[in-house]
Amino acid sequence: MKSVLAETAGKIRSMEIRGAGKIAREAVFALKSHAESLDDQNSSAFITKMRSAGEVLLSTRPTAVSLPNAVNIVLSGMNGEDDTGEIRAGIVSRADDFIERSNSAVRKIGEIGARRISDGDTVLTHCNSQVAIGCILEAHRQGKDIEVFATEVRPRNQGLLTIKTLNDAGIKTNFIVDSAARYFMKNVDIVVIGTDAVTVNGSVVNKIGTSQIALAAHEARTRVMVAAETYKFAPKTLTGELIKIEERDNSEVLSPEIAEIMPNVTVRNPAFDITPAEYIDLIVTEEGAIPPEMAYIIIKDYLGWKIGDFDRDF
Ligand code: RUB
C-alpha cells in the first residue's frame, strides 16, 4: 500500500490536488501522517527522514510558494536535542495549527474581500482559486446582486470547477474563452483572482493568462483584487530569488499524435505568469487588505523573515 506521503506527492504532481492553498494543507497533512508512521527511536534518523519527506513534497510542483512555506513552518521547529516523541508531537501540533489557520484565513479573506464587491458589480475571475471564489460567494451570500465572468482556463480547464461552484450557489455566470477577457472587460467592475506566490515587490504569480487580464483591466480602469493568505508571500524574493514558473507537459496542449506529424513545432506550456504590482489595486490577506507595495511587511511581520535568514530551509 502506498504511504500517504507518496500518494499526496503523486496527486499534487498530477494536479488531482491543485490550487496553492489546498496543496499546502494536503502537504502538511501528509507530513503529519508521515511523522506518525515512522517508528524510529533515534531522533537524528527521524529528523533526516522527515527532511527527505519535505523534499519529496517540494519536488512536486515548483511555483506555489505556499508549499515551501508550509513545509518550513511544520519542519523548522525540529530539534535534535529532543527525543523522537517530542519532535513528532511538535510536528503534529504545528501541522494541525497550520491547517486550522489556513481554513480560518480562507473564511476571513472571503469576508474582507466581499466588502470590496458592491451590489450590482460584475466580477471577472480566472482559474479556480478557493479564496477568490470565497470573496465572490460571500458577496452573494450577503445579498449583493452580482454577475460573474469566468474564463475557461486552457489547457487544464479549471474554469469548469469555478462555474460549477458559482452555478450551485445560484450566481449568474458567463463562461468565456480566455482570449475573450479583453473583449468583455468594459462590462467588468472588478477582477478577483487568487495567487500561487506574491513577491516582495508586490508582483503576483498566478495561472497563465492572469497578466493579460490584468493588463486589459488596467487599460479599462477596472480594479484588480488578489486574494492571498499570508503564506502565499515568498520570503526568498527578499534577496532577489525569482519564483520558478512551472512548464508542464506538451501533451496538455497538443495531442502526441498531432505533435508527431509536426516535427518543427514546439509546444510551450507555462502554467503561471507574473503580474507586476502596478496592475494590482489590492491584495486581500487574512490580516487585512493591503496595497501590493506592502508585501514586504507581510513577509517581515507575519512570516517573520528578514534578510540574512536564508539558511532557514527547515
Ligand atoms: C491554480 C491557480 C490558483 C492559485 C490560487 O493553478 O492558479 O489561482 O493556486 O488558488 P493550478 P487558491 O490549477 O495549476 O494549481 O486560492 O485555491 O489557493
pLDDT tens digits for 237-274? 998 899 999 999 999 999 999 999 999 999 999 999 99
Proportion of the chain in helix, strand, coil states, percent, rounded to 5: 50, 15, 35
Pocket test for ligand 1, best of 207, 226, 273 (most atoms within 8 A of CB): 207
Q: Domain tally for the chain?
A: 2
CA–CA dist 313, 101 (Å, integer): 21
Which domain range does residue 20 map to? Answer: 4-108
The count of other CB atoms within 10 Å of the CB of residue 178 is 17
pLDDT the model gives residue 310: 62
Query: Would residue 314 count as lying in a domain?
Result: no
**Which of 80, 108, 136 finishes a domain?**
108
The Å distance, Cα 152 to ligand 1 centre, comes to 14
Indicate if 228 and 269 belong to the same structural domain.
yes
The Å distance, Cα 262 to ligand 1 centre, comes to 32
- Identity at 180, one-letter amino acid code: A
pLDDT digits (tens, 9 = 90+) for 146-162: 999 999 999 999 999 99
pLDDT digits (tens, 9 = 90+) for 188-207: 999 999 999 999 999 999 99
Query: Which residue shows C-alpha cell 479599462?
Result: 220
CA–CA dist 18, 64 (Å, integer): 10
Indicate if 171 and 147 belong to the same structural domain.
yes
Q: Are 71 and 94 in contact (CB under 8 A)?
A: no
Question: What are the C-alpha distances in Å from 216 to residues 55, 133, 199, 220, 280?
Answer: 39, 21, 22, 6, 12
Query: Would residue 115 count as lying in a domain?
Result: yes
Q: What is the mean pLDDT of residues 78-97?
A: 95
Buried residues in 142-155 as b, exposed as e (16+ CB within 10 A): eeeebbbbbbbbbb
Tell me: pLDDT of 314 over 70: no
pLDDT the model gives residue 276: 98
Between CA 253 and CA 228, with CA 158 as vertex, the angle to 5 degrees is: 120
- Identity at 55, one-letter amino acid code: E
Tell me: pLDDT of 282 over 80: yes
Indicate if 163 and 294 belong to the same structural domain.
yes
Indicate if 138 and 96 belong to the same structural domain.
no
Indicate if 99 and 138 belong to the same structural domain.
no
Tell me: pLDDT of 312 over 80: no
CA–CA dist 98, 73 (Å, integer): 8
Tell me: pLDDT of 9 over 70: yes
Three-class SS state of 193: strand
Residues that constitute the known binding site for substrate? 18-21, 61, 206-207, 232
Average pLDDT value over all residues in the chain:
96
Three-class SS state of 1: coil
Q: Is 18 in the pocket of ligand 1 (CB under 6 A)?
A: yes
CATH number assigned to the domain comprising residue 82: 1.20.120.420
Query: Would residue 313 count as lying in a domain?
Result: no
Indicate if 184 and 104 belong to the same structural domain.
no
pLDDT digits (tens, 9 = 90+) for 162-183: 999 999 999 999 999 999 999 9
pLDDT the model gives residue 32: 98
CA–CA dist 258, 292 (Å, integer): 43
Q: With bands split at pLDDT 50, 70 and 90, how would you rate the model's confidence at 313?
A: low
Query: Would residue 141 count as lying in a domain?
Result: yes
What is the value of ipTM here, to two decimals? 0.99
Indicate if 83 and 189 belong to the same structural domain.
no
Query: Would residue 146 count as lying in a domain?
Result: yes
Query: Would residue 92 count as lying in a domain?
Result: yes
Indicate if 156 and 78 belong to the same structural domain.
no
Pocket test for ligand 1, best of 61, 196, 249 (most atoms within 8 A of CB): 196
**Which of 108, 137, 160 finishes a domain?**
108
- Of ligand 1's listed atoms, the one at least distance from the Cα of 18 is 15
Q: Is 289 in the pocket of ligand 1 (CB under 6 A)?
A: no
Query: Would residue 233 count as lying in a domain?
Result: yes
Q: With bands split at pLDDT 50, 70 and 90, how would you rate the model's confidence at 306?
A: confident
The count of other CB atoms within 10 Å of the CB of residue 40 is 15
Indicate if 185 and 243 belong to the same structural domain.
yes
135 catalytic, yes or no?
Answer: no
CATH number assigned to the domain comprising residue 232: 3.40.50.10470
Q: Is 162 in the pocket of ligand 1 (CB under 6 A)?
A: no
pLDDT the model gives residue 1: 76
Percentage above 70 pLDDT, the chain: 98
Indicate if 284 and 167 belong to the same structural domain.
yes
Residues that constitute the known binding site? 18-21, 61, 206-207, 232
pLDDT digits (tens, 9 = 90+) for 38-78: 987 899 999 999 999 999 999 999 999 999 999 999 999 89
pLDDT the model gives residue 304: 85
Indicate if 95 and 151 belong to the same structural domain.
no
Indicate if 65 and 185 belong to the same structural domain.
no
Query: Would residue 177 count as lying in a domain?
Result: yes
Edge-first strand order for the sheet with 197-198 is: 197-198, 204-207, 272-275
Of these residues, 82, 119, 168, 196, which one is catalytic? 196
**Which of 74, 108, 142 finishes a domain?**
108
